Structure 1
Amino acid sequence: MTGVFEGFATIGTLIVLGILLAHLGVIDLAGQRTLSTLAFFVASPALLVTVLEDSDVGEIFSGALLATVAGVVVTGLVFVVVAVIRHEPLGSTVVGTMCAAYVNAGNLGLPIAAYVLGDPALVAPVILMQLLVLQPLALVLLDVDTSQTRLSWGSIVMRPVKNPITIGSFVGLVLALTGTNLPRVVHDPLELVGGMAVPSMLLAYGVALRLGPLPGRGVPPGQLGLVVGLKLVVQPLVAYLVGRFALDLDTPALLAVTVLSALPTAQNVFVIASRYDRASLLARDAIFVSTLASVPAVMVITALIV
């Protein structure tokens, strides 16, 4: 359980630092937007190149991934159906779906996979699926939603290659598929810049917590409850049921699938929501509540399966 606490403690420390900096007037809302923009356009693409460069792409086709995908698809569809019934706009629906189904595989997934599950490589398929499928799809839809003019199908298809995060993901994937290693003169600066991504996201999130409406006051409770319930209950439950009864996964694989599906909403969902100015308060509150609630959720899942 040490890895669970360490992962959450690291995230919490940087968020608290962001709150403190905002409270002291060191960073204002303009500074928060700058941090989010830096993370989106510069640091995150650099991080993705260096992370995916050394990934084992073959892991993405594992049986465990099918259970993970099932959890994501069912959770996402439930939220989309509810959003359609409520006549939610496209941008808010996209961000809400990410809040409900996009897990914190990097900041929390890696330490939990290493210390709780015993193998950090277990989180690689989740990271690859999110970076190469879910995130590009969400970004395309948000680009369509925020465009000032009606986009042609050609423009829609070309949108991913113009998005810095998607570009970073695909460059890293190509390097991994071809077994190419970047020369140190290129890799080292990218790694250094990529190191800003997670701190920038967390500090920006902390500033938004301090200077924006308090969590729970800027978003309807029903909407927030739906997102968090889908994230921490429906997604891991579906992954577990598919993994156990459809794929007959062994206990370690089943534990990994279920625990990783119960991770909270990722911080970069807030960065993306802020960048496109769509449902950023929902993203902020979903991250806050799901992060707090996922600690007991992960512990309960581990105790029940093991």
Structure 2
Amino acid sequence: MPSLHPLLSAFAPIWAITGVGYVVGRTRLLGPHAETVLNRFVFHVAMPAALFLMIARTPLDRFANPSMLAFAAGTAVAIGLGLLAGKLVFGRKPGELAIGAMASGYVNSANLGIPVTMQVVGDASFVAPVVLFQILLVTPAVLAVLDGGAAGRRALLTLPVRNPILLAAAVGAAVSAAGLHLPAELNRSCELLGGAGVPTALIALGMSLHNRPPADGRSRRAEVGLIVAVKTLLQPLVALAVAGPLLHLPEHQLLTVVLFSALPTAQNVYTYAREYGQGTVLARDAVLWSTLVSMATLSVISWTLGPA
């Protein structure tokens, strides 16, 4: 069974870069508007480049496999519960509801999913279909709600053209479906731009910790706690129930699905919240606390479901 050390190694860069961001924010090294500028760079430049390249390189038929049914079931239950709790218990508005729901079920599939599954399973191929599922199905729904609140009367049909994340995903899917091979120069350019996305987003996340607003009482703490519990406990339990008793997946596939479902909330959620000014504090706290708690839950999963 894997020790705790490999998992700590996977999480260490996340905390280190976030810590650098906190120092940068505390010292005001980049000026008063740096957090906003960095988030807009991630949203409008780096993240679209990374998503376009990843989807363009991935055959779309990899999206359809039994393991994805279990992962999708866990995601649907987590997001649905996040929506219900946000609306009925915490009285969130539509944009904040979308962020809360996304924080409840949107996993950190790439920069944590790859190292964690490589350490525990020895295979990170499940990353591609998870990314496709989240970018092509979950993200458009969330961004449609966020953009609808911000856009007023602008037609929803123009959203993919106006939103760089959805535009990059759509163009990447078209390239993949057509079987086109990207020029080496375009590949390299997108790799360089996309590679800046994760560290920049983490720097911005760390900077936001220095400007913490006054706590708004037990309600927000309870909401963050519920989101973290749904993300790190309920979502993998639902995936386990579907992948095991219902689909009877082989042991290595079962472990992979449950591990991916237990990954913490992706920092993308904070980037979207910051860009649209909806549920920013909720998204930030969900990312931080789910990342911390998932170190324990992922360890338990690897010990209980992993090979002897």
What displacement does 1:215 show? Answer: 8.5
5+ residue gaps, structure 1, are none
Distance 1:47 1:227 in 2: 27
Does the alignment pair 1:103 with 2:107? Answer: yes
Distance 2:215 2:59 in 1: 38
- Percent identity over the alignment is 33
Give the aligned residue type for 1:22: G
What displacement does 1:161 show? Answer: 2.8
Deviation sequence 1:2-45 (CA, Å, 0-9, x none)? 54222211111111111111122213441011000000001110
Structure 2 match to 1:138: 142
Structure 1 match to 2:70: 67
What value does the CA root-mean-square deviation take over the aligned residues? 1.8
Give the aligned residue type for 1:132: L
Structure 1 match to 2:295: 295
5+ residue gaps, structure 2, are none
Deviation sequence 1:94-135 (CA, Å, 0-9, x none)? 000011000000110111122212111122211110111111
Correspondence list, 1:211-222, <5 A:
211-213=211-213, 220-222=220-222
Structure 1 match to 2:267: 267
Deviation sequence 1:216-251 (CA, Å, 0-9, x none)? 979711111110011011100000001111111111
Does the alignment pair 1:281 with 2:281? Answer: yes
TM-score between both structures, scaled by the size of structure 2: 0.93
Structure 2 match to 1:245: 245
Correspondence list, 1:79-158, <5 A:
79-86=82-89, 87-147=91-151, 149-151=152-154, 155-158=155-158
Moved over 6 A (4+): 214-219
TM-score between both structures, scaled by the size of structure 1: 0.94
Structure 1 match to 2:209: 209
Structure 2 match to 1:230: 230
What displacement does 1:53 show? Answer: 2.2
In structure 2, do the counterparts of structure 1 residues 212 and 28 end up closer, same or farther at CA, with 3 Å as the change threshold?
Answer: farther
Distance 1:136 1:237 in 2: 26
Give the paired residue count. 302
Does the alignment pair 1:36 with 2:68? Answer: no
What displacement does 1:283 show? Answer: 0.4
In structure 2, do the counterparts of structure 1 residues 174 and 305 end up closer, same or farther at CA, with 3 Å as the change threshold?
Answer: same
Distance 1:240 1:199 in 2: 32
Give the aligned residue type for 2:67: A
In structure 2, do the counterparts of structure 1 residues 143 and 177 end up closer, same or farther at CA, with 3 Å as the change threshold?
Answer: same
